[in-house]
Structure 1
């Protein structure tokens, strides 16, 4: 049975997030946009922040560099973990209406 692979928290969170889907077209459109383009938006915002900072503002530039490396490290760790530990997505395993 599919429920054996998911905790109660997993199922409750799945329903809390997906319970809103299909009821608010504007919310659906906004969330689908961010799901598709979030990484690109982050890169554009990072570049805007980099080029709008004054060159003499080394403290904030240093912080921006650290943030950039932290983001890349987090993405790398996420991908590495997903290759080591497979966990099926709830929307694939659970029956509709579960």
Structure 2
């Protein structure tokens, strides 16, 4: 069933250059779009937004650590290793399950959704496109993306439930940032 779903999506590729290029762009650059969004939100956001950015970034990192652990326990060959298919981009023949790109995207989006739904929803749509593009490009099975979503939900949920434990560290990081930039602003004004 996983392979049949994969074929139904991946077999759409190769017919339309604009669509293939869009999928390749998303699959290669979505993670940078998420990072840039978090940086912009951090720079222009207030303290609550900075907290949300730190939690989203931390959730993404922790979810990827979970992926590494899963890959050490369970190895799923990528579709192009097991089947004769043409990928849109080259990729190492490492473990397919779960998709790191999808996990990073979903975990950041879900973590942001917990705090700012208006930002989290567009991020989640981009995360869905990221997962879809990984299948379209021939790099992952659909269940790899579903597995990524499950990892992201689980990690984001745990982080939210344990946020009281992380709050002192998050507040400390923000206070260090604020003190550095308030000192810089004071010295710039006095010059």
Tell me the TM-score normalized by structure 2: 0.41
Unaligned runs of 5+ in 2: 86-191
Q: Which residue of 2 aligns with 1:73?
A: 62
The structure, 1 or 2, with the larger RCO (C-alpha pairs under 8 Å, 6+ apart) is 1
Unaligned runs of 5+ in 1: 1-7
Give a deviation string over 1:17-66, Cα, whole Å, max 9, x none.
Answer: 2021111211100111222223222212211111121xxx3222212211
* Structure 2 residue 75 is the aligned partner of structure 1 residue 86: yes
Superposition CA RMSD, Å: 1.6
Shift of residue 78 of structure 1? 1.3
Structure 2: how far apart are the matches of 1:33 and 1:61?
28
Structure 2: how far apart are the matches of 1:46 and 1:79?
23
1:27 to 19, 23, 36: 19
> Which structure carries more helix by proportion?
2
1:95 to 78, 84, 89: 84
Structure 1: how far apart are the matches of 2:21 and 2:84?
24
Structure 1: how far apart are the matches of 2:25 and 2:68?
22
Tell me the TM-score normalized by structure 1: 0.73
Aligned length: 85
1:47 to 34, 39, 62: 39
Structure 1: how far apart are the matches of 2:3 and 2:44?
43
Q: Could you list the runs of 4 or more consecutive aligned residues of structure 1 that deviate by over 4 angstroms after TM superposition?
A: none
* Structure 2 residue 47 is the aligned partner of structure 1 residue 58: yes
